[in-house]
């Protein structure tokens, strides 16, 4: 199978500052200020064309950061990212301009992706039909509910027909009917040999949909492999951390300071 995405030793480092003054000093003085924080550390894996890969991990483990790096929205601090094909990133709110109407957002996003005005005219009815938000399509996005934003973002992204679909919790805010319709469209993508990255806190959705799972923990790869195997390990880990007695945890945290 052809390779779609290669991630090699990818690291994303942020600087955490206690005060704004510290940030300014870090920018203008040769001495380093602030504390290094690694959102991702030496992450490596490969995705083949037609694979659907789910990312799991507790809050703050680096899932969105990795998706954003694959989508080219943020650069890695270190490492190699190879993406073969056009990608589309879908998250609640992603890339939508609040002041513009839904219809204007469709036009803007498609123009930015290089579609001609004629192409956009042809695509628009399908996008609007799939989003199914009624007269709100001509209202500014700032008046939308989070589910409506997700519907519009998802509809634009699947209709531009990218090679790689990157979905960050976008189905979590939609209602059941929309989630079902979206899943069907994603299955259609899969059958056509497209690559899909999928972040969800619903292990059921991941189990139903993904071929492989990448488990991130504190920015590092804990496991990568077939869905069943990695989810078994991940579920056991979640059970273990949720069983930890609170009192004992407090003592451990205090002792580690």
Ligand X SMILES: Nc1ncnc2c1ncn2[C@@H]1O[C@H](COP(=O)(O)OP(=O)(O)OP(=O)(O)O)[C@@H](O)[C@H]1O
Report if residue 227 touches ligand X, rule: CB under 6 A. no
**Min dist. Cβ of residue 136 to ligand X (A):** 27
Q: Which of 59, 239, 241, 248 binds ligand X (CB under 6 A)?
A: 59
Q: Which of 14, 75, 175, 250 binds ligand X (CB under 6 A)?
A: 14
For 204-223, b/e burial (b = at least 16 CB within 10 A) is ebbeebbebbbbbeebebbb
User: In this complex, which beta carbon is closest to ligand X, that of residue 180 or of residue 201?
Assistant: 201
> What letter does residue 135 receive in the DSSP assignment?
G
Report if residue 65 touches ligand X, rule: CB under 6 A. yes
Query: Which residues sit opposite 205 in a β-bridge?
Result: none
**Min dist. Cβ of residue 60 to ligand X (A):** 4
Report if residue 20 touches ligand X, rule: CB under 6 A. no
Report if residue 54 touches ligand X, rule: CB under 6 A. no
Which of 59, 72, 62, 96 is closest to 5 using CA atoms? 72
Query: Cα 201 to chain center, whole Å?
Result: 12
**Min dist. Cβ of residue 7 to ligand X (A):** 14
Q: How many angstroms separate the CA atoms of 156 and 151, rounded?
A: 9
Report if residue 174 touches ligand X, rule: CB under 6 A. no
Kindly tell me the burial class for residue 118, based on how many C-beta atoms sit within 10 Å of its own C-beta (0-12, 13-18, 19 or more). Answer: exposed
**Min dist. Cβ of residue 247 to ligand X (A):** 26
Stretch in the footprint of ligand X (CB under 6 A) among 53-61, 106-114, 131-139, 203-211: 53-61
Report if residue 200 touches ligand X, rule: CB under 6 A. no
Q: How many angstroms separate the CA atoms of 257 and 249, rounded?
A: 13
User: In this complex, which beta carbon is closest to ligand X, that of residue 69 or of residue 165?
Assistant: 69
Q: Which of 4, 43, 52, 61 binds ligand X (CB under 6 A)?
A: 61
Strands 87-91 and 164-168: parallel
Q: Which of 7, 10, 39, 43 binds ligand X (CB under 6 A)?
A: 39
Please provide residue 41's backbone torsions phi and psi, each rounded to the nearest 5 degrees. -130, 110
**Min dist. Cβ of residue 168 to ligand X (A):** 8
Report if residue 212 touches ligand X, rule: CB under 6 A. no
**Min dist. Cβ of residue 212 to ligand X (A):** 18
162 near 87, Cβ under 8 Å?
Answer: yes
From residue 154, how far is each of 9, 88, 171, 247 by CA, in Å?
30, 10, 9, 43
Residues in touch with ligand X (CB under 6 A): 14, 37, 39, 57, 59-65
């Amino acid at each position: 199978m052809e390779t779609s995405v290669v991630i090699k030793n990818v690291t994303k480092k942020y600087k955490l500052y206690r005060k704004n003054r510290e940030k300014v000093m870090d920018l203008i003085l040769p001495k380093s200020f602030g504390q290094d924080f690694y959102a991702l550390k030496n992450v490596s894996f490969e995705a083949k064309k037609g694979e659907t890969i789910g990312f799991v991990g507790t809050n703050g483990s680096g899932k969105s950061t990795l998706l954003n790096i694959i989508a080219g929205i943020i650069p890695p601090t270190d490492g190699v990212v190879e993406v073969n094909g056009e990608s589309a990133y879908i998250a609640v709110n992603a890339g939508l301009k609040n002041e513009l109407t839904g219809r204007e957002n469709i036009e803007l996003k498609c123009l930015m992706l290089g579609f001609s005005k004629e192409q956009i005219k042809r695509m628009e009815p399908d996008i609007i039909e799939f989003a199914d938000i009624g007269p709100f399509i001509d209202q500014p996005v700032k008046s939308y509910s989070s589910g409506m934003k997700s519907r519009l973002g998802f509809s634009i992204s699947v209709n531009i027909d990218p090679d790689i679909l990157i979905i960050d919790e976008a189905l979590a805010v939609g209602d059941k009917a929309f989630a079902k319709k979206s899943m069907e469209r994603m299955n259609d993508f899969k059958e056509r040999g497209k690559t899909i990255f999928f972040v969800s806190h619903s292990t059921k959705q991941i189990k139903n949909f993904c071929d492989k799972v990448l488990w991130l923990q504190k920015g590092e790869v804990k496991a990568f492999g077939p869905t069943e195997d990695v989810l078994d390990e991940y579920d056991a880990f979640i059970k273990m951390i949720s069983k930890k007695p609170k009192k004992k945890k407090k003592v451990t945290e205090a002792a580690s300071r």
